Amino acid sequence: MRCGREIAGRRKGSHRAWLVLAHRWVGLVIAGFLLVAGLTGALLAWNDELEAWLSPELFLATPPVPDAPAQDPLILRERVQLAYPEALAVHAPLTTQPGRTLTFNLYPLADAATGIEAELAVDQVFVDPHDGRILGARRWGDLTQGLKNLMPFIYRLHYQLALGVVGGRVFGVISLLWTLDCFVGLCLSLPARGGKTAKSGQAGGKSWLARWRTSWGVRWGAGSYKVNFDLHRAGGLWAWAMLFVLAWSAVAFNLSEVYDPVMKSVFAHQQDGAGLRPQSVPELVPAIGWQEAREIGRRLMAEQARVQGYTVLREDALSYEPSIGVYRYGVVSSRDVGDRWGATSLKFDAGKGELKNLWLPTGVASGDTLRTWLTSLHTAAVGGMVAGLPMKLFICAMGLAVALLSGTGVVIWRKKRQGRRHAASAR
């Protein structure tokens, strides 16, 4: 009996050694990336506020008189289109926030001879909603244009290390390793069942839960190494659920070829964009004008709200997709988990006005509901403009926690490496 227990103990010890090895080297590989992601993520939790602080001339608009009405956003879109004939203004926000400008996105036109899309000098235009003046423009993420692109550049760092598609793929792989390492770290925090205590030397001197409870605390009076180790272990445990949410949602953002098959094999999903195929030649000027398209979108959305049993809270945006010849009409509805932007949307044909598909963020397919919550938590988009303040604080703190766990992990590895070197020198 004793021999069997010793063999089982050695096997468990071997398994743990492999987990320690995996946690060590995976942690070292992802530490630098997570340090950047954590610090930039803490800033991005306050993206709107920082954008307005850095570039008030682009994001803030003072009404001429209190409660002054805003102009129709679609009329302002036409004004932007006239000012930038070399591009297409394909996106129009439909709701104006008090004291804020409206942002219009531009779509590059393809050269008639070569078919290659021309590179735009700017792709975002900012308009005063009251008097219709164009206040400025920028090429999103181009740091050479100054501070007005600092936050977009930080977003690019967070999302893809500012390296384009390649950086995004690398971050996707890092996120997948991080997701797996969440479970490895959790396993390593668990005490072995039937272990010995320091006082009694007998198995079962303390309950398994009592021994695991020590992993959740920090020995502040101990030396710097033990405090660092406890911060790494306890910090990872207390924040474990949200760390997993951040890691797996990052896989959804950057590595869809892994996320989608895994989630679709377990959960139901809506057929988003089923039957919509790119046209051989983009339809640059839709047969249905923007004003009529908004009315069609309102009518179709109201019909779907009655059928599906949800409430439209406010309009969000109308956009046109030239490559497939459809309009997308988005609203904030009772199926959304926040009201910063609307995820409830439908697409309809830009020539005939026929409904192509409806997408609801929650309440229809469990996989889509889960993804909506994962990505909304990741981007601090849960709750309204005021109710979302605690969420922003929480996500900011989580970004700093990710950076802290990365730093403490590297310190642990360095200290143990020095210890192994000293032991080898002594031998």
Give CA–CA dist 247/217, Å, rounded.
24
Are 349 and 356 contacting, i.e. CB atoms less than 8 angstroms apart?
yes
Q: Tens place of pLDDT for every residue, the chain, 427 residues?
A: 444 444 444 555 678 889 889 999 999 999 999 999 999 999 999 999 999 999 999 999 988 888 888 999 999 999 999 999 989 999 999 998 889 999 999 998 876 656 677 789 999 999 999 999 999 999 999 999 999 999 999 999 999 998 889 999 999 999 999 999 999 999 988 887 655 544 444 445 678 888 898 889 889 888 888 899 989 999 999 999 999 999 999 999 999 999 999 999 999 999 876 567 777 677 888 999 999 999 999 999 999 999 999 999 999 999 999 888 999 999 999 999 987 788 999 999 999 999 999 999 999 999 999 999 999 999 988 876 555 788 899 999 999 999 999 999 999 888 888 877 777 777 7
Cβ contacts of 402 within 8 Å, gap of 6 or more: 34, 35, 37, 38, 41, 243, 246
Give CA–CA dist 88/426, Å, rounded.
72
Are 252 and 371 contacting, i.e. CB atoms less than 8 angstroms apart?
yes
Radius of gyration of the chain (CA): 27
Q: How many helices (H) and strands (E) does the chain have?
A: 13, 9
Give CA–CA dist 176/375, Å, rounded.
15
Q: DSSP 3-state assignment of 326?
A: strand
Q: Which of 42, 45, 26, 17 is nearest to 406 (CA)?
A: 26
Give CA–CA dist 143/120, Å, rounded.
15
Where in 77-140 does DSSP place strands (E)? 87-89, 91-93, 102-108, 124-127, 134-138
Are 217 and 230 contacting, i.e. CB atoms less than 8 angstroms apart?
yes
pLDDT of residue 282: 75
pLDDT of residue 10: 52
CA of 28: how far to CAs of 77, 178, 229, 237, 241, in Å?
49, 11, 15, 19, 21
Are 335 and 309 contacting, i.e. CB atoms less than 8 angstroms apart?
no
Q: What is the DSSP string of 381-424?
A: -SB-TTTTHHHHHHHHHHHHHHHHHHHHHHHHHHHHHHHHHHHH
Cβ contacts of 35 within 8 Å, gap of 6 or more: 402, 403, 406, 407
| 0.85 exceeded by pTM | yes
Strand 312-321 relative to strand 134-138, pairing: unpaired
CA of 391: how far to CAs of 60, 132, 141, 225, 371, in Å?
24, 34, 25, 32, 18
Written as six digits, the tokens of 288 are 């249905």
